């Protein structure tokens, strides 16, 4: 069996500059993600970060990646346009893409969405429930009715996202808001799954249900099959 | 200008048998709905109820209706299958349909949806916020960010509804739930808009924002134009 | 590995009464379908026909079925309503459903769709090309750009189908028509895939690409996981 | 009644450099479009072209535009990124956008779609039929079953377009291809309608049905109502 080659990309700035975040993710969010993903026998996991050469995303790395995870927040602008274009081309060519939390506003996610990616938010801790609104989907497998997170940052509507194939999760926040928190769409040959939770000051990525969703999401986003090159200019049927 | 011919259908049982409901809607929910709809200059409004002859829905009445509103709850089973089929045929033929609240489980709504229409619920009073998730839609015009209802019955996910063209509202409930509370879909030539609020013991249909959504929904659901008869068996292009 | 339990349902009337059809499918369309499906190592295949007791669809058979294929044409009306309701309930409960060709008008398909299922048609032979409009989908895996069928019955637009999750194939017909010929939707916990080709007088189900699509469609429609029972009435948080 | 302020943007190069095109559109495609649009009493029409100062799309012009039409083909690259960003921001803020024909590959369309916008094509003349697959939509009002164009350029599938709210037209081409030729989607507060026909060497925009679709599309895409400013950071419900 061919393994699914996963690359976990992380901005990796908060964890080095903010003591509170360092407490939660001492080796960086990418390390936490890679650790639980590495336990899946069909995954082959590597990491890359903003401050790596070419942000860790050389053409070779992308060519060898089936699914790319993305976590970024305060340095979206420092991601080079050239590498954003490279990642975009690779997604259109079939690589799966799973932006997490504040990566809704990453250059690459906005380029895929075509919208402003604007949303409502509240820094602070807010009780969240992620309700499953599509229980028979591969990404929600094993989750039950909802995921409960005692403390998370709030993201709320209106969340400017594009038409989507499937809405999977809707969040409830104690403070009075809702959010379309998990959904899929397609661009070119690439599958995209956005998943909301994961503020850097909370231990969200240690939550087993959240981990399960991300694992499911990677399996769902992986290319199902090689697509033969598509022909542009063609001759008519005679 | 041709007026939009609106028929408001109501089960009209709770209001006659339950004192609490009678207090809120002394002349029936249909009367309350017809009253505010009647103020719109482009609407021509009539009502019909379960206990009328043919439930008030003769072929003539349906032929003369552009948009049918439906409120029902405890007597879904008493609606005759023959009339359900008649209403269904008329919707496929272009009549708009706006099921309200517990009409999600009306025979006609289930026949249109093809699903179980199952949902989670809690009788009692629950603080509800209906968040607009599509602000530039004709149905959400003039609503702002959300509608706040101090007391409503809770409906929650998983709500078994079909693929839809447009999700317009998501409800937040203080008790911890969310619900896809306003959405549109199409069947045949008919437009359908489901809108959640309206438990019989609360004065929801006196709320001006709720009224505005229903008015907008009727204008949206009205047939936009006559569709010429569609041909079945055809000859090939030679 | 648990096998996918497939039940192939066929009306099985044309093949017994019409010499032309008997030539193409001497043992019935169900037999042809079961034969190539039976070669898949992860499938366990059985057949059922209209004239079997309970149409071959006892509650036990349905409970033991993961995906149900359906071919019917001239005797839709002879399928009992009770069994249609039974199949519908089982689909809502998670069984996959794959209606083929004229099964677009089967009682069960119309009950799922909620539309008229009306379409345009021309009996006769028409050159058809089924273009893939979603190349990275599991159901189109291995198909390339299109499937070419030298002779098929024409089905054309307007085809009255509901909002759908995914449009996979669009047919071109030499006579001048197009048709949405392969698409998926969901009802309750059940996945549905409609696939157009398969007129009884043409050897369509011997075509290897058509076979591949049906095999892919079954794997796609199979329930991905057990969904725990969903609670209706609930208590509020805190 | 407030008029719908329409701006017709045209690359306007083919018409000045190619005799064949000049024959068909002596004053430019924008002039032809503006002429029939100008007959609608509720439209106020202006034009803009690539070689105008700021491509004719100053901030003031965009602020005064409700719906922007776009025709471009051989000089997509000459449109400045700054103006593309300006147009994009205005669409997200509510301006309707109607890209025509080869504008599927305009920078602004690709920025909205997030896909490659790749398609199959054949220069030459091909008989086209645009089948209506959603007869009760405002954009298809008055069109009947299809539009027939004796001569057009072929565009075919796979056409890399994003998930969409509504598929309205599917083209049939005599040479053996199909194309999703008319569809709508939404980005931010802006409505987008793509419509395929309009190769520069054929008199497509003189066709009355094509004109009707474009007129309908503009009315559909116009902002339905002012959306109040949406708040980002918010306080919780206490």
Give the pLDDT confidence of D133-146 residue by residue, as tens digits. Answer: 999 999 999 999 99
Contacts of C176 in chain D (CB under 8 A): 129, 172
Alpha-helical segments (H) within C93-171: 107-113
pLDDT in tens, chain B (238 residues): 689 999 999 999 999 999 999 999 999 999 999 999 999 999 999 999 999 999 999 999 999 999 999 999 999 999 999 999 999 999 999 999 999 999 999 999 999 999 999 999 998 778 999 999 999 999 999 999 999 999 999 999 999 999 998 999 999 999 999 999 999 999 999 999 999 999 999 999 999 999 999 999 999 999 986 666 666 777 777 6
Does D171 sit within 8 Å of C172, measured CB to CB? no
pLDDT score for C174: 94
What are the C-alpha distances in Å from D148 to residues C132, C171, C177, D203, D233? 24, 18, 12, 13, 52
* Count of Cβ atoms closer than 10 Å to residue D31 Cβ: 16
* pLDDT digits 0-9 by tens, D193-234: 999 999 999 999 999 999 999 999 999 999 986 666 666 777
Three-state DSSP at A126 gives strand
In chain D, the residue whose alpha carbon lies closest to the alpha carbon of A185 is D163
- What mean pLDDT value characterizes chain A? 95
Name which of B112, B113, B175 is nearest C236 (Cβ-Cβ): B175
pLDDT score for C155: 96
- What mean pLDDT value characterizes chain B? 95
Report how far residue A4's alpha carbon sits from residue A98's, in angstroms, rounded to the nearest whole number.
14
Does B175 sit within 8 Å of C237, measured CB to CB? yes
Does D180 sit within 8 Å of C156, measured CB to CB? no
Contacts of A228 in chain C (CB under 8 A): 144-145
Report how far residue A185's alpha carbon sits from residue D132's, in angstroms, rounded to the nearest whole number.
25
The answer, yes or no, to whether residue D165 has pLDDT greater than 90, is no
Give bridge partners of residue A68 from the DSSP assignment. A7, A97
pLDDT bin (cut points 50, 70, 90) of residue A227 is: low
pLDDT score for D184: 98
**Chain mean position to CA B198:** 10
The answer, yes or no, to whether residue C124 has pLDDT greater than 90, is no
Name which of A135, A166, A190 is nearest C165 (Cβ-Cβ): A166
Report how far residue C217's alpha carbon sits from residue B150's, in angstroms, rounded to the nearest whole number.
47
Does C176 sit within 8 Å of D132, measured CB to CB? no
In chain C, the residue whose alpha carbon lies closest to the alpha carbon of A134 is C189
Instruction: Tell me if ipTM is over 0.90.
Output: yes
Q: Hey, where are the domains in chain B?
A: 4-114+181-221
> What is the sign, positive or negative, of the torsion defined by CA atoms of B215, B220, B225, B226?
negative
Give the containing element (helix H, strand E) for C182: strand C178-187
Contacts of A225 in chain C (CB under 8 A): 136, 138, 141-142
Report how far residue B115's alpha carbon sits from residue C89's, in angstroms, rounded to the nearest whole number.
9
Contacts of D143 in chain C (CB under 8 A): none
Question: Does domain D4-114+181-221 sit in CATH 3.40.50.880?
Answer: yes
pLDDT score for A235: 77
Most A CBs within 10 Å, among C175, C227, C232, to test the A interface: C227
Tokens of A196: 């909301």
pLDDT score for A120: 93
Taking the CA of residue C9 and the nearest CA in chain D, the distance in Å comes to 30
In chain A, the residue whose alpha carbon lies closest to the alpha carbon of C232 is A145
Compute the average pLDDT of residues D146-165. 95
> What CATH number is given for A4-114+182-221 in this structure?
3.40.50.880
Report how far residue D55's alpha carbon sits from residue D11's, in angstroms, rounded to the nearest whole number.
9
Query: Considering just the CA atoms, what is the radius of gyration of chain A in Å?
Result: 18
Tokens of D42: 């509720």
Peptide bond just before D88 cis, omega within 30 deg:
no
Task: Tell which residue, C26, C30, C23, C22, has the closest CA to residue C50.
Answer: C30
Compute the average pLDDT of residues D67-72. 98
Three-state DSSP at A15 gives helix
- What is the DSSP-derived secondary structure letter of residue A140? G
Alpha-helical segments (H) within chain D: 14-17, 19-24, 29-37, 59-63, 81-92, 107-113, 208-221
pLDDT score for C230: 66
Does B111 sit within 8 Å of C112, measured CB to CB? no
Taking the CA of residue C109 and the nearest CA in chain A, the distance in Å comes to 20
- What mean pLDDT value characterizes chain C? 95
Contacts of B231 in chain C (CB under 8 A): 120
Neighbours of chain A (3+ CB pairs under 8 A): B, C, D
Contacts of C177 in chain D (CB under 8 A): 131, 172
Contacts of A87 in chain D (CB under 8 A): none
Peptide bond just before A236 cis, omega within 30 deg:
no
Does C165 sit within 8 Å of A225, measured CB to CB? no
pLDDT score for B165: 86
Does B113 sit within 8 Å of C160, measured CB to CB? no
Tokens of A132: 């499953």
Residue % of chain D over a pLDDT of 70:
96
Does C223 sit within 8 Å of A134, measured CB to CB? no
Report how far residue A39's alpha carbon sits from residue B167's, in angstroms, rounded to the nearest whole number.
38
The answer, yes or no, to whether residue A1 has pLDDT greater than 80, is no
Does D133 sit within 8 Å of C177, measured CB to CB? no
Buried b / exposed e over D188-221, threshold 16 CB at 10 Å, is bbbbbbbbbbbbbbbebbebebbbbbbbbbbbbb
In chain C, the residue whose alpha carbon lies closest to the alpha carbon of D162 is C134
* Count of Cβ atoms closer than 10 Å to residue C194 Cβ: 28
What are the C-alpha distances in Å from A106 to residues A66, A71, A113, A179? 20, 8, 11, 18
Three-state DSSP at D151 gives strand
Is the pTM for the entire model greater than 0.90? Answer: yes
């Amino acid at each position: 069996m061919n393994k699914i080659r996963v690359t976990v990309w992380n901005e990796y700035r908060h964890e080095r500059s903010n003591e509170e975040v360092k407490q939660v993710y001492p080796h960086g969010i990418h390390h936490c993600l890679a650790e639980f993903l590495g336990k899946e026998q069909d995954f082959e996991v590597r990491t890359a970060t903003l401050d790596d050469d070419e942000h860790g995303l050389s053409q070779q790395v992308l060519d060898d990646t089936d699914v790319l995870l993305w976590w970024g927040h305060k340095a979206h602008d420092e991601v080079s346009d050239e590498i954003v274009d490279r990642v975009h081309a690779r997604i259109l060519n079939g690589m799966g893409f799973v932006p997490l939390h504040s990566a809704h506003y990453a250059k690459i996610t906005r380029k895929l969405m075509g919208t402003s990616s604007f949303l409502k938010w509240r820094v602070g801790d807010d009780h969240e429930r992620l309700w499953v609104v599509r229980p028979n989907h591969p990404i929600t497998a094993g989750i039950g009715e909802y995921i409960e997170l005692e403390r998370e940052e709030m993201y709320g509507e209106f969340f400017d996202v594009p038409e989507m194939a499937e809405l999977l999760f809707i969040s409830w926040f104690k403070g009075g808001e809702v959010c379309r928190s998990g959904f899929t769409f397609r661009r070119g040959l690439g599958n995209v799954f956005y998943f909301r939770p994961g503020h850097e000051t909370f231990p969200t990525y240690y939550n087993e249900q959240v981990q399960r969703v991300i694992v499911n999401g990677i399996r769902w986003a992986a290319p199902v099959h090689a697509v033969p090159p598509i022909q542009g200019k063609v001759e008519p049927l005679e």
